[in-house]
Chains A and B, each alone.
Chain A
Amino acid sequence: MNKEAPFLIHDLDRLRERVIERERSSDMNRQDGKLWTLIKNCARTAPDQFPWFTPFVALMTEDAEDIRRAKKVLLDYVAKLEPMSFSSGLQYHFWCFAFPHAKWSMYFQWLCTIGAFSKDEETEIRETLISYHFTNFFFGLRTKPEPECIDNQTLSLCLSTVMIGYLFAAGEKPSRMAEKMLEEGLRRLPGIIGGIPASGYTGEGSSYMDCVIGPAIPLVIELLDLLTGERDLFWKPFAPNDITPEQILRMTAREWMPGGLLLPWDNYGYQYGVRAPIAYALRQTGDELYKRILLKDAVWSYDIGVGWAYDDLVWSFIWWPEDEMLAENISFAWFEPDVGGVLTAQGNDFYLMQMWDESEPVIPTRSHVNPNAVLLNAYGVPLTLDGAIVNSPRFQFSDTWRETVHSVGEITRYNYGDGCGGAHSILLVDGWEGLRANESYPQHFPLRPDELQDGIGADVTALYRERFEDAIQVRRRSSVGADRFFIIEDLASFGGTHTFTSRFVLRPGAVDTGLGFKIRTSEGVTLHLIDLAGQTTVKSESIKGAIYYYPMDPETLLVDFNGESGSRLFIAFMSRAFKAEEFEADWQVIHDPSETLDVEEARIKLASPEAVVPFQLPAYMECPLPIVKRWWYSKTVRKQPGKAWLQLPRGMHNPKCWIDGHEIELSGYQSLLLAPTIAVPQQLEERQQVEVIIRCDVPISHYEGKGDGTMGLNGGVAVCYPCEEEIVLGATFDGSEIAVTTNQKEYRWPYKRMGE
């Protein structure tokens, strides 16, 4: 093992200088300064709850206590290895354990460079790390068929095997096992990168793309750089698909929607995005898209699980660009002929994503059956719930049950119906919600540029033809009208008579207009869907208590536009009823370690607060305060007389809120991904200022998400005021022009339908 310099840290002295610079108060407004504060506070105050931060803090400070804490964590990690062998996780899902093992091996090397261990300790730990990887993860890598297996699991196993190999094959006491692992891993790694499809999307959904593939790519580049001496690997095409690491990271960035949630693409629904790979990509490219995401959309609360580790914030700091940055409002639009595309209007206020990536034949677990599904978002608020519902009886079809071994000694029976077509915003034929492929074949074909016009879309006939032999063509094209609304056109031609359903899976909040179907979300954002072809009947179904990987709303709407003609022309018109101002700063805060205070007791204590904080992260992440679960905040908030709302932080657990002593009902706000927006009580509307007291619980460790990433307080409090909602009064298509009349304006947009 080489101990001259910490692995993958290019310039240790400069990094330490940055830490010192950021610790100066004048630099604390910079995001990397805030990150360092957060990481250091957590590592020092609660190292057992935030172990993943400890090695970096020790490396930066070389403080004896920081080193002692990090050393204890490392020894705890080594101590868990043998008992961990009895877990079904290690035995059946070894890739989840390989990546963190490689990370801890790297952190062991970091700690060795600052003399954390005695000679004997070093030897024992090194031998344990090597032999454990060899028997568990080198074994695991070899289970993956070569070259067919290209996914997050193989990348995790292969990258970690190369990392272990590199760390321990050379330098002091070189290991032959490590040498073998390095050789085998290095032989496979470039092919795994190059085997990722040219779009950059592995087909495994945002979760695996962003939480495993994305965080792995910078490490792959850095490692291959060290091993091969090649520079510019970030831009190098890897065979066989000639894909560059830049394209892969760009796809992870494209999965971010305005507002900071990832696309609910394929299996896991909405979740927060991972930041370190974006920071790395920004450092490499200077590209405005990465900058915009980091500065405007990224959520900095806690550590999202990355490759089954919780060190995303550490690597975000390491790779954070040196220069101060300002974000431009760059467009989120993109188009990849093989997988999907995004349209935006009014900057990024209105957002539509359409997908046509291949689904997994036979059992669509990860790669859902979502041919030409559309996802909608306005003002950073998601409007559709496509693909997010899991384990709901509504989508458990009789022929989609499967038994599999997930755990030692246990056979798991589960239903994969939620991966089938019916749970997505697509076209259904004869009501068959179990739409899926039973054989492998190309499931989509591109539309010609003259067919696309300025839109996005694909021909997905093949997937339907497997069951409906008379299917002639099934297409959807989406486009932007007048930079104000989206046009979604369905065209289904079949030889025989069928019933066609254009389904939209929406968030709740139905509004009766007598025209199409409209929702208004709890954030005040509206979506109005109108079929201009006018040959459909609209039916909606509410699924109550739908289960999501990450909770959203207590209800989901399936909105079906039914008819015998397969030709539809929708407009999707979005607006909002109120708008948030800037976040309110300077909140008085106290902690409530016994969780016993009532609002009156809290009010008294808040008069002499423990700190004044921005209230955009848990208080202990914003300044050096104890790490406890329960917190109380207060502020006299100035407002304009009249109707107003308060937008509260996202991710609050067990929140309660009082406005001038009136308790506001928050029990309906279960989602950790959406910001609760509450109306100021009517009797207080004319006030120019109100006292706001908020109580909430926050996670106190990396692990409270129980393996799904830890989510907690983020965002901030903002006052919202009414804005005039643009309401559609009428919409028509006369064969060549779409006309939309609203309460504010009349839009006319020339339009040529598909097939004409």
Chain B
Amino acid sequence: MSSCYEQMEACFTCSSDELKRLAVDPEWRVRFAAAVAIGERQDADYIDALEEMLAIEDARPLFTQPVTEFVGVDGDTSLAEQVKPFQVVFPVPADEATQEAWKTRGRVKQAVLFAIYSIGEANERLIDKLHGYIQDANQDATVKAAAVRALGKVGGPSSLPYCKEAAAYDEWCTRVEAVKAMGVLSNG
């Protein structure tokens, strides 16, 4: 049985069928690599797989992580420079699936949305989903920014109000992508 790392690596060399299988692998890191690899291939044949990937991510308990205590280190950004053992204490018990979802946050979604951007095509259901991500207060800025970027490529006139909403969002990257998308969509 291949390790997670080997499967991530395989995403960039495997067959189309194998990539579609890896795209729905139980391990999110493999799905992330698969989404990046699909983006590279720029093939509309993967649209259904990407839709399925978003469905998997939407079903996970994202963005609900409680404030966590770090014992033995200073938390937040200063953790970047510290090299010493520490312990993570969750205020409420969390099973492994939940913890993995906390680690993932919007990563796989972002990679899927960028793959849609690279392919340059999407069906109506996907476009509706992108609109929904922009309006969903529970989505991270990384997902909103990727969604509005993709809309600039695959959206239509109906996407403009959503892009406008993203342009008013209090996060610089999302605003920049939104303004760019509006420019493209407004010019037909």
A interface residues (Cβ-Cβ under 8 A, vs B): 48, 51-52, 73, 76-77, 79-80, 82-91, 93, 96-97, 99-100, 104, 127-128, 130-131, 134-136, 138-139, 142-145, 148-149, 175-177, 179-180, 305, 308-310, 402, 404, 407-410, 702-703, 706-707
Contacts and interface: CB of A to CB of B under 8 A. Distances in A.
B9 A308 contact: no
Contacts, number: 140
Interface residues of B, number: 51
Nearest to B105: A91
B173 A87 contact: no
Interface in B142-187: 142, 145-146, 149, 170, 173, 176-177, 180
B16 interface: no
A590 to B, nearest CB: 29
Q: Is the interface of A mostly helix, strand, loop or mixed?
A: helix
Interface of B: 3-5, 8-9, 12-13, 29, 32-33, 36, 40, 65-68, 70, 74-88, 90, 99, 102-103, 105, 107, 110-111, 114, 141-142, 145-146, 149, 170, 173, 176-177, 180
A180 B12 contact: yes
Contact of A86 (B74, B88, B170, B177): B88
Contacts of A148: 176
Q: Which 7 A-B residue pairs are closest in the complex by CB-CB distance?
A: A707-B78, A176-B12, A89-B77, A127-B5, A85-B103, A308-B80, A51-B83
- Give the most central of B4, B12, B13: most A CB within 10 Å: B12
Nearest to B64: A409
A361 to B, nearest CB: 11
A149 B177 CA distance: 11
Given A80-B82, A131-B5, A176-B9, 18 more contacts: A51-B84, A80-B84, A84-B79, A86-B88, A87-B76, A89-B80, A96-B80, A99-B80, A104-B83, A130-B5, A135-B29, A135-B32, A143-B146, A145-B145, A149-B173, A407-B67, A703-B78, A707-B77
Nearest to A73: B83
Nearest to A409: B67
A750 B111 CA distance: 66
Contacts of B87: 83
A87 B5 contact: no
5 contacts: A52-B83, A87-B70, A87-B75, A142-B111, A409-B67
Contacts of A134: 8, 32-33
A448 B79 CA distance: 49
A142 B29 CA distance: 16
Contacts of B13: 176
Given A143-B173, A305-B81, A86 B9 contact: no
Given A86-B68, A86-B99, A408-B67, A177 B8 contact: yes
A89 B70 CA distance: 12
Contacts of A408: 65-68
Nearest to B99: A86
Nearest to B37: A180
A702 B67 CA distance: 26
A82 to B, nearest CB: 8
B33 A142 contact: no
B117 to A, nearest CB: 10
Given A77-B83, A135-B29, A145-B173, A127 B67 contact: no
A643 B173 CA distance: 60
A407 B80 contact: no
Given A139-B32, A149-B176, A310-B81, A177 B75 contact: no
B65 A86 contact: yes
A79 B29 contact: no
A87 B83 contact: no
A408 B107 CA distance: 15
A318 B98 CA distance: 45
A90 B67 contact: no
A180 B40 contact: yes
- Give the most central of B32, B82, B102: most A CB within 10 Å: B82
